[in-house]
A = this chain, B = another copy of it.
């Protein structure tokens, strides 16, 4: 049984399509190759009740063992992912001293002090462990609750990836034994509705193999198929 994962992007700019959600693609890819069954990838606006709701749905309704959020960790009024996580977990939302030290050092290095907006980036659920952000200011957040793991990362893709690669993926890789093999074959001149019959036969005979045809050309005229195995 593969462990289940959900990827949640928090931000009006994502649901409203002002930015393309490349974070979901990056995390979906990485989690799949680590052996996770990614059952849900969702985004919601920066609204407390909707963030708490999607955390609950990912955990309870989609039975996720790992929940990764992106976005909403910054200094502005609508960056409320950390507070929503505290609320969902039923934990006090407090200044984490270790996180505060991380934030302080980033600004002190530039001759700047702490302000309420900067201190806000160090506020986390009481049981959280801050994760160093090698290129930005807001630390990531890690919470283990029962047998479920919650990871909150910044929405800026370069910061999200830096934290993922430096801290999260090494941790998950140590815990996983699964290895995934995959290959994509491109076929020209075969319509998907013709290939469907052959693919249906294969997947019935070999239930452990996943085959997916992906139309790339024009079904009628010049069909091109990517066959993913």
Contact = CB atoms under 8 A, between A and B. Distances in A.
A199 B40 contact: no
A24 interface: yes
Query: How many chain copies does the complex carry?
Result: 2
A161 interface: no
Nearest to A213: B76
A32 to B, nearest CB: 4
B28 A39 contact: no
B228 A18 contact: yes
24 contacts: A13-B212, A14-B28, A15-B40, A15-B41, A16-B32, A17-B38, A18-B29, A18-B228, A21-B21, A21-B41, A24-B43, A42-B43, A57-B57, A74-B215, A75-B193, A76-B196, A76-B212, A77-B200, A107-B220, A117-B193, A117-B196, A121-B193, A136-B218, A137-B220
Interface of A: 7, 12-22, 24-30, 32, 38-45, 50, 53-54, 57, 61-62, 74-78, 106-107, 109-110, 112, 115, 117-118, 121, 135-137, 156, 192-197, 199-200, 203, 210, 212-215, 218-221, 228
Given A17-B38, A115-B194, 12 more contacts: A15-B40, A16-B28, A18-B228, A19-B25, A38-B45, A39-B50, A50-B62, A75-B193, A76-B200, A107-B220, A112-B220, A137-B220
